[in-house]
Structure 1
Amino acid sequence: MVHMSELPAITPSGIDSLPGPEWMLLDVRTDAEWADGRIEGSIHIPLDQLMERVDEVSDKVVCICALGGRSARATAYLLSTGREAINLDGGIEAWAADNRPLTKG
């Protein structure tokens, strides 16, 4: 498994430059956090369900949580399965601080 300090990471603005539409935005936060606000188009699989639902994850994925810790664990796990995975540095908090839109409900 990849050491956490060596995980690929991306900033909120970096997501705009990902090549192609095949990149999945995977939100691994809890149901309540997801309902409070999420990135439009992201897919929700809570971290505690990721191993059993890994077949729902695409080959190229950006992992998202509140601050970046849980998504770093998801990124490390998905890298170990052979996927191209990147952690959103700073999570939803960084996304919101960059004045990027969140969808609620």
Structure 2
Amino acid sequence: MTNIENVDVESIGADATMLDVREDYEWEAGHIDGALHIPMNDLPERLEELDPDEDVFVICRSGGRSFRVAQWLVANGYSAMNVSGGMGAWLEAGKPMVSENGQEPTVK
């Protein structure tokens, strides 16, 4: 199995390409502004939305789904890293978030 790099939220630069693989309801509650949202199960048919020559930081709620997605992306020739702790860690670190529902951004 391919070794996947796990990265801490504090080490991710502001210009990083973020891929959020959570479900729609999770995304709407709170996400990283500028992140690309492709739910995990939709990724195979939406793969062309990613640049294989660009580092992609994959994030979910806690790090499990994003780890599997990062493995799959690397196996398919992409440069992907898993964000340790997911959006929970992002929120705890006080990193900026936005919501789609007009409420205070949160992680579901």
State the TM-score bracket (shorter-chain normalisation). Answer: 0.7 to 0.9
Pick aligned residue for 2:62 from 56, 61, 67: 67
Q: Does residue 41 of the first structure (1) align with residue 40 of the second (2)?
A: no
Task: After the TM superposition, list the runs of 4 or more consecutive aligned residues in structure 1 that deviate by more than 2 angstroms.
Answer: none
Pick aligned residue for 1:98 from 85, 89, 93: 93
Name stretches of at least 5 consecutive residues in structure 2 with no aligned partner: 101-108
The Cα shift of 1:79 comes to 0.2
* Preserved contact between residue 12 and residue 89 of structure 1 (Cα < 8 Å): yes
How high is the TM-score relative to the length of structure 1? 0.87
Q: What is the root-mean-square deviation in Å for CA atoms of aligned residues? A: 1.3
The Cα shift of 1:76 comes to 0.3
Name stretches of at least 5 consecutive residues in structure 1 with no aligned partner: none
State the identity as a percent: 37
How high is the TM-score relative to the length of structure 2? 0.85
Q: Report the count of equivalent residues.
A: 98
Counterpart CA distance in 2 for 1:8 and 1:24 is 15
Counterpart CA distance in 2 for 1:16 and 1:57 is 18
